[in-house]
A and B are shown apart, each in its own frame.
Chain A
Amino acid sequence: MSKTKLGFLLVVVLMVTALLGVLFGSVPILISEIWDALTGDGQEVHRDIVLNFRLPRVLLAAFVGGGLGVAGATFQALLRNPLAEPYILGISGGASFGAVSVLSLGVAAAGSWTLPLAAFAGALLAIFLVFRVATSTGRVMDVRILLLSGVVIAAFFSACIAFILSISPAQTVQSAVLWSMGSLAGADWDRVVIAGAYTMPAAVMLIVLARPLNLMAIGEETAYYLGTNVEGVKRISLVVAALITAASVSVAGVIGFVGLVVPHTVRILVGSDHRGLLPLSFLGGAAFLIAADFIARLVLSPIEIPIGVITAFIGVPFFLVLLRQSSPNG
């Protein structure tokens, strides 16, 4: 498949899923009512549902999913590890630690901003610690040490979380577990603006670095011999991808599989050139997460299933089929 063709296809899929995401929910909406809501006509209730609930939710899903897709592809290239996902540097551990701390203090009710802020602070703390460890050995940043320090820092945070939860009431434990499975239920325009203002420039920045990232994915020594500023590209893109992840975790919790399944699917379909891979992973991640959120809301409506469950349920079989088809002797 050509990159343009896949790009076109993904834009169509993205529009369709976005439309479905606005139309369906506990209260069904008609296409004409979306139009009415956008132009300020129609029933007050429907306008409220479209403008203040469904639309921000779909947009937040698009930014978070797109961001995770791009961040995943970037981590895989820089760490030269196909199994790398956006949370690999302990970011989910740090964010969960922040979130659980706030939940255990019972201050989450104080304002809708406390939880995402605490999660973001935790994620930043994890990123800082991991990069600190990885650069402490010398002038150059060794990605193997980065990977290992990510694992160690994540383990440390999960120990902290386990400790906090062990002395917390059952109610806190349940909220923490639900948070850790990810949800877009907290979507509002503030979060959409923050996630968009954060993710879009960061994704564009990584797409601009696509060609150096192609070389880095082959190996740092080769990238160097081909004239890449290896340390500069590595630091900038790792930090940018880590910050995208931190932002997405803080507004939507830990949503797995998007950063893993989406970039690999794109690679299998159109190859590993990051000039195609990064924008297509953004589109694919956005469409995938909108669809997953739509399903999460609808299947047991009015109960919402955690979105991480859906991404895993769709992502895993889909990925296995693709792997099977792409293996030469499959």
Chain B
Amino acid sequence: MRFETRGLVITYPGQSRPALNGVNMSAPSGSFYAVLGPNGSGKSTLMKGLLGVANPDRGTALVAERNVGDWDRKALARVIGAVSQSETVSFPITVREMVAMGRYPHLRPLEGEGEKDRAAIREALEVCDVTSLANRDLSTLSGGELQRVRIARALAQEPRALVLDEPTSSLDIKHEMEILELLKQSVASGLTVILITHGLDLAARFADRMLLLSEGQVAAEGTPDEVMNEETLAEVYGWPVIVEWEPTTGSPRVTPLHS
């Protein structure tokens, strides 16, 4: 499923400066698309724009060639599984209950879970390797387990695309790699994945295309080799860097220098 924005401008209420200022991007169907940029560059706002949460002042966000605002909310939730940056769950709730919420867009009001729903939930738990946690309370999970559960909920939606906002930001190497491998596997099975992240090196290694945002505008867009450019990165992040090719993985690696 293809995502596209044309001249997208989004200003939050009460703010004078737009959070996104004329962004053109296009994530081809079935691609692993990474969105990067410094803090406050508009990454999360782009996600909100693409999913129709934040209304654009100007420009359009298209999901499968159709204006996102024209989508019925439930219909959109049947094709896009989105995982926001964080959730605070203040009540007791089990892993299975959490993942089962992914079936909401497929159910009519008051309709109970059918065999198809149970199968989707089982499958999502399995793919994310959280089946053994199904009856655990969310409050007892580690950070990595919780993120896998949230991705499992998105997969239980049986979507054609996943959009994730920094799902690995607080995780250690193993858990981060597990989630990236999981996303790569999802792309291999035909999903489009849009990943918002701060991890330049891993994004360059996993993504097909990268979008680099700076102050609400596009600083670079293209393949990892095109975007991982020393001058561009140094300017966008305001810090001198060098880019080398990592011999083991064959992908570009950024090393920040001393100022």
Contact = CB atoms under 8 A, between A and B. Distances in A.
Interface string A189-211: 00000000000000000001001
Interface residues of B, number: 33
B109 A211 contact: yes
A266 B91 CA distance: 11
Contacts of A214: 97, 101
B66 interface: no
B90 A328 contact: no
A218 to B, nearest CB: 6
B74 interface: yes
B167 to A, nearest CB: 13
Contacts, number: 78
B105 A268 contact: no
B91 A76 contact: yes
B104 interface: yes
B97 A271 contact: yes
A8 interface: no
A40 B71 CA distance: 62
A23 interface: no
A272 interface: yes
Given A222-B87, A225-B81, A227-B76, 6 more contacts: A77-B91, A211-B109, A214-B101, A217-B90, A218-B101, A219-B88
Interface string B202-235: 0000000000000000000000000000000000
B82 interface: yes
Given A80-B88, A221-B53, A227-B76, A271 B104 contact: no
Chain B interface main SS type? mixed
Contacts of B183: none
A326 B51 CA distance: 38
Contact of A225 (B75, B77, B92, B93): B77
Contact of B97 (A80, A137, A273, A328): A273
B194 to A, nearest CB: 13
28 contacts: A76-B91, A77-B91, A80-B90, A208-B109, A208-B110, A211-B107, A212-B104, A214-B101, A215-B101, A215-B104, A217-B91, A218-B98, A218-B101, A219-B88, A221-B84, A224-B53, A225-B53, A225-B80, A225-B82, A225-B83, A226-B77, A226-B101, A226-B105, A227-B104, A227-B105, A228-B73, A229-B73, A272-B97
Contact of B104 (A77, A226, A268, A273): A226
A82 interface: yes
Contacts of B73: 224, 227-229
Given A208-B110, A211-B109, A222 B91 contact: no
Interface in B66-121: 73-78, 80-84, 87-94, 97-98, 101-102, 104-105, 107, 109-110
Contact of A82 (B80, B90, B98, B102): B90
Interface residues of A, number: 30
B91 to A, nearest CB: 4
Contacts of A77: 91
A224 B107 CA distance: 15
A317 interface: no
B140 interface: yes
A268 B77 contact: no
Contacts of A272: 91-93, 97
A286 B73 CA distance: 37
A46 interface: no
A232 B226 CA distance: 45
A221 B73 CA distance: 13
Contacts of B98: 218
B45 interface: no
Closest 9 CB pairs of A and B: A227-B77, A227-B105, A227-B74, A225-B82, A272-B91, A219-B87, A221-B84, A227-B73, A226-B104
